[in-house]
Every structure is written in structure tokens, then in C-alpha cells.
């Protein structure tokens, strides 16, 4: 198996069954040129060895079963898939939260490095809650180490590489490339061309580690949580577009032909009306203009066909690939295998000139840099990432704050605010950011500025 174009038949390994909560890993070890199986937890004497056929994505049950049925022709009945409905739904929500956050990491690594780092922190916390860490934590710690190296922080880089090592050994083997690379990174984090290749904004020497901190304080330092509200999980905050209750993925939307008391309340006769706000967000992959059909992908990679009324000329003229659609009070049509949303009222749809990943990250970034710290009303300067008071806010978008002109120039030139500021001046996008989505006083539509005020 010298390249991706070659393969092999592994007689013993191919007989190992699948489980979504697998007790072993399956991997190709390039160093020793062998296919390896490693236990990722204690396996009881009467328990069969299982691996995952699904790769590295933490899918909810409905998607896992569909993929396994399509690719391998069996209906999974492992302990994770066999959970009672109520417990399974809770687990699915947690897995979708994790999947959403992990989707954001590569897309924000360069443009919003601090935000990407916080997403890694969120994923680590969520995986630790679910006890699924062995499969994913090694990669997350390694990636967190890498981003610190890129911005010059050798202290955090070494600690995170050290944390990655036992997971890499357990999942890939002690003689694997993954284990070897992280051992090298833990010993010499400044080696290689990636050191300070992104910036020197986080520069710290390898020994510049604070002392006298308790475990929680140390984790706050390690993950740069200063200014975050109680180490907030973004997917649990109504202010974040990662909130699956307010910004549901396609599979979490109410179905048009089913009763959904979580979303609707009954009024006269058989009519229903929304009882709260929700909004579907999708990344435009492709579109047709006649009839208007938009192919979008949600944050969990479900591809959905969006059908509009034939006279939606204004919407059609603004369609662009890689932009984001927002649909208020969206309903699910079609099936899980043929996802579809049919929209009659185009006033419930808006298109934003930004990719979905960048939109979600930008919302979380503005939340962090706008929110005051409760203890002293200090905000975080977007230019230097330090807490201070008083700060001066950007006069154009009003979302970001700065210590001085020098910090403002740094934010404008080096931290992406030149592009973000223009996007944040879009009236509907501003209201998407400012609207209190968890407070409901009646349904709204676009343009939001004419409904909810400024």
C-alpha cells in the first residue's frame, strides 16, 4: 500500500464486525507497512472485537444507519443504535453538536485562529462528556498543538502534543507516524517550517507556563478561555448559530406533514403557528434558475434541495455558489434519503454573501469581542486579544473593539476585519446577530430590520 491508488485484502481484519461504539481501531501503519488493530478500551472475554466502518465523523443514529444500510447492506443494532428513543435523541443532539463544531475547525483555522482554537476546546469538552474521546481526542490535541506552533506559542504547543501522544498510541500504535510526529512535536515544537508561519501573536517560550494554578485555572489558561462566559459551549448558547434548537439542521426540522408541538402551537381549527423562532442555514452548492432550485448543504453535511416559487426573481438574481441561505421557520419535506424544503413565502428566505462556516464563526467571534466581562465590564481587544477597559469600537460595524489605533490597524490588516466589517454592515445580517432568538413575540420575516428594530 505505497499510495492511495493501491489497496490490499486483509483476511483477518475484514471479518471484524462494525459497532458505532467500537472497542477497537482499524488503521494502516505506513511505518511498518501493516494493517493494525488496536483495542481502544478493555474488551471483556465474551465480547467480540468491533471496529467502526464510518470513519471519523460522529454521526447521529439516523445517518449512521442509513450510511451502513446503503454501503454495507445491514441495519446496525449496536448498543449505541439500540438506545431507547428518548436517550438516543439526546445522544444524537450531542453528536450533532460535536460534528458541527468539528466541521468548523478547518474552515476557521487561518481566518479566525482564536475561534478555531475555541472550537477545538469545545469539541474536547463534548467528547469527554460522551466518553468517545479515544477515537477523536488525539487528533484534536494534535491540531490544537499545531495552531499554537503556527502562532509561536511553544508552551501550549508542547503540552497539547503531550496530551495527544497516549491517544495516538492507543488508536494508531506506538510505532505509527501519528505517535512519532507528536512525540517529536512534544520534544521540539519549534522544529519545522510551520513555526510562526501564521503569526507571532501568541508567542511564548517553551517554559513560559504559569505556576500555582488549580486544574480548572490551568485548563482556562491552556485553552485561552479569558473572556468566555463560563467556558461556554457554543452549541448550547442561543446567541450562537451552532445552537441546534434555534438553528436546526435539516434532520432536526419539523416535517410539514407531521405534528411538531416543539415548534408549533394549534390555533383555530386545524391551523398552526410557530411557538418560537428557528432558522435553517445552508451553504449553497449549486442552483438552477428556471424553475428556481437551490442545492444546499447544512452544517452536518446533509445535502438538501430547496424549491422556490417560480416568480422568486429577486432571490434568483442574488444566488451565488458558496453563499449562505437562511430560512425562517423552515419545514422539512421529502425523506431522509431525498431531503427537500419547499418554500412558498420567499419573505422567509435571505441570502448572505458569506460561506456558512464563516458566517457561524463570525457570529461567535463577534459575540466574544462584543461581550463585557461581568466582573469589571472589560471587553477583549480584537487587535491584541487582551482584556481592557475602556476600548473604542469600530465606527463602521460597531461589533469589534480596540485599545488604540495600532490595534485597530492590526485587526483590519491581519485579522480579517477588512472583509468582515463590510459583511457586518448588511442590515439583515446585523439583525441575525443582534436578534434575541430565544425570546418570541410573534413570527418575523425578512427584512428583519423592519420587524425587530435596531
Q: What is the pLDDT of residues 307-317, one digit of tens each?
A: 987 677 788 88
pLDDT band at 414, cuts 50/70/90? confident
Asked if 63 contacts 251 with a C-beta cutoff of 8 angstroms, the reply is: yes
> What residues contact 127, with CB distance under 8 A and at least 6 apart?
98, 133, 136, 137, 140
Q: How many CB atoms lie within 10 A of CB 59?
A: 21
pLDDT band at 450, cuts 50/70/90? low
d(CA 81, CA 50): 14
Give the up-direction half-sphere exposure of residue 411: CA atoms within 13 A in the CB hemisphere: 27
Kindly report the backbone phi and psi dihedral angles of residue 339, in degrees, each rounded to the nearest multiple of 5, phi listed first. Answer: -65, 135
How large a percentage of the chain has pLDDT more than 90? 51
For cell 434558475, the residue is: 289
Confidence at residue 185, expressed as pLDDT on a 0 to 100 scale: 94
> What is the SS3 assignment for 3?
coil
Confidence at residue 2, expressed as pLDDT on a 0 to 100 scale: 47
Asked if 385 contacts 401 with a C-beta cutoff of 8 angstroms, the reply is: no
Q: What is the pTM of this model?
A: 0.82
Which is higher by pLDDT, 134 or 32? 32
Residue 146 CA from chain centroid, whole number = 18
Kindly report the backbone phi and psi dihedral angles of residue 123, in degrees, each rounded to the nearest multiple of 5, phi listed first. Answer: -65, -40
Question: Would residue 377 be called left, alpha or beta, if left means φ above 0 and alpha means ψ between -120 and 50 degrees?
Answer: left
pLDDT at 452 over 70: no
Confidence at residue 182, expressed as pLDDT on a 0 to 100 scale: 94
d(CA 178, CA 172): 7
Cell numbers placing 306: 430547496
Asked if 306 contacts 297 with a C-beta cutoff of 8 angstroms, the reply is: no
Confidence at residue 372, expressed as pLDDT on a 0 to 100 scale: 76
Axis crossing angle, helix 356-370 with helix 427-434, rounded to the nearest 10: 60
Q: What is the pLDDT of residues 114-129, one digit of tens each?
A: 889 999 998 998 887 7
Confidence at residue 232, expressed as pLDDT on a 0 to 100 scale: 60
Asked if 399 contacts 370 with a C-beta cutoff of 8 angstroms, the reply is: yes
Kindly report the backbone phi and psi dihedral angles of residue 255, in degrees, each rounded to the nearest multiple of 5, phi listed first. Answer: -85, 140
Confidence at residue 375, expressed as pLDDT on a 0 to 100 scale: 65
Q: What is the pLDDT of residues 315-371, one digit of tens each?
A: 888 899 999 999 999 999 877 678 899 998 999 999 999 999 999 999 988 888 887
- Cα–Cα nearest to 438, from 235, 246, 244, 240: 246
Confidence at residue 388, expressed as pLDDT on a 0 to 100 scale: 80
For cell 503540552, the residue is: 159
pLDDT at 58 over 90: no
- Cα–Cα nearest to 418, from 394, 402, 434: 394
pLDDT at 270 over 90: no
pLDDT at 190 over 80: yes
Q: 387-388 and 339-342: which strand pairing? A: unpaired
If you count DSSP H runs as helices and E runs as strands, how many of each does the chain have, helices first? 13, 17
Q: 339-342 and 303-307: which strand pairing? A: parallel
How large a percentage of the chain has pLDDT more than 70? 92
Asked if 164 contacts 141 with a C-beta cutoff of 8 angstroms, the reply is: yes
d(CA 245, CA 234): 12
> What is the SS3 assignment for 431?
helix
Cell numbers placing 385: 486579544
Confidence at residue 454, expressed as pLDDT on a 0 to 100 scale: 38
Mean pLDDT score of the chain: 87
Asked if 256 contacts 423 with a C-beta cutoff of 8 angstroms, the reply is: no
According to DSSP, residue 254 is labeled: P
Cell numbers placing 234: 457554543
Poorest-pLDDT segment among 215-219, 332-336, 378-382: 332-336
Domains observed in the chain: 17-223 (no CATH), 250-254+275-356 (2.40.50.140), 358-434 (no CATH)
Confidence at residue 1, expressed as pLDDT on a 0 to 100 scale: 43
Amino acid at each position: 500500500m505505497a499510495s492511495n491508488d493501491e489497496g490490499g485484502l486483509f483476511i483477518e481484519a475484514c471479518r471484524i464486525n462494525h459497532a458505532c461504539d467500537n472497542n477497537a481501531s482499524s488503521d494502516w501503519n505506513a511505518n511498518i507497512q501493516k494493517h493494525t488493530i488496536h483495542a481502544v478500551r478493555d474488551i471483556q472475554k465474551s465480547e467480540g472485537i468491533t471496529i467502526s466502518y464510518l470513519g471519523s465523523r460522529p454521526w447521529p443514529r439516523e445517518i449512521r444507519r442509513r450510511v451502513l444500510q446503503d454501503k454495507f447492506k445491514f441495519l446496525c443494532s449496536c448498543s449505541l443504535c439500540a438506545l431507547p428513543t428518548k436517550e438516543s435523541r439526546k445522544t444524537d443532539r450531542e453528536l450533532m453538536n460535536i460534528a458541527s463544531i468539528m466541521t468548523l475547525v478547518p474552515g476557521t483555522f487561518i481566518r479566525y485562529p482564536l475561534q478555531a482554537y475555541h472550537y477545538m476546546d469545545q469539541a474536547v469538552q463534548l467528547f469527554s462528556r460522551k466518553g468517545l474521546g479515544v477515537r477523536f481526542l488525539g487528533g484534536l490535541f494534535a491540531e490544537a498543538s499545531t495552531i499554537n506552533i503556527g502562532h509561536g506559542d511553544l508552551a501550549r504547543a508542547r503540552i497539547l502534543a503531550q496530551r495527544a501522544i497516549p491517544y495516538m498510541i492507543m488508536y494508531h500504535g506506538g510505532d505509527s507516524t501519528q505517535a512519532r510526529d507528536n512525540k517529536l512535536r512534544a520534544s521540539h515544537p519549534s522544529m519545522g517550517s510551520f513555526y510562526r508561519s501564521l503569526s507571532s501573536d501568541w508567542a511564548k517560550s517553551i517554559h513560559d507556563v504559569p505556576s500555582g494554578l488549580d486544574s480548572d485555572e490551568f485548563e482556562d489558561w491552556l485553552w485561552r478561555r479569558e473572556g468566555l462566559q463560563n467556558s461556554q459551549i457554543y452549541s448550547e448558547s442561543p446567541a450562537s448559530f451552532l445552537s441546534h434548537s434555534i438553528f436546526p439542521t435539516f434532520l432536526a426540522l419539523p416535517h410539514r406533514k407531521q405534528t411538531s408541538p416543539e415548534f408549533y402551537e394549534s390555533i383555530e381549527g386545524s391551523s398552526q403557528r410557530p411557538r418560537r423562532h428557528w432558522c435553517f442555514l445552508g451553504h449553497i452548492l449549486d442552483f438552477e434558475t428556471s424553475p428556481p432550485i437551490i442545492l444546499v448543504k447544512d452544517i452536518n453535511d446533509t445535502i438538501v434541495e430547496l424549491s422556490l416559487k417560480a416568480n422568486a426573481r429577486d432571490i434568483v438574481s442574488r444566488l451565488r455558489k458558496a453563499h449562505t441561505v437562511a430560512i425562517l421557520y423552515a419545514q422539512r419535506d421529502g425523506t431522509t434519503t431525498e431531503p427537500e424544503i419547499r418554500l412558498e413565502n420567499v419573505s422567509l428566505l435571505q441570502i448572505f454573501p458569506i460561506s456558512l462556516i464563516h458566517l457561524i464563526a463570525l457570529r461567535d467571534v463577534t459575540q466574544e469581542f462584543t461581550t463585557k466581562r461581568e466582573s469589571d465590564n472589560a471587553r477583549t481587544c480584537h487587535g491584541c486579544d487582551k482584556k481592557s477597559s475602556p476600548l473604542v469600537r469600530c465606527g463602521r460595524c460597531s461589533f469589534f473593539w480596540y485599545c488604540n489605533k495600532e490595534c485597530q490597524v492590526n485587526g483590519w490588516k491581519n485579522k480579517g476585519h477588512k472583509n468582515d466589517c463590510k459583511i457586518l454592515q448588511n442590515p439583515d445580517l446585523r439583525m441575525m446577530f443582534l436578534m434575541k432568538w430565544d425570546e418570541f413575540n410573534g413570527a418575523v420575516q425578512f427584512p428583519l430590520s423592519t420587524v425587530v428594530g435596531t
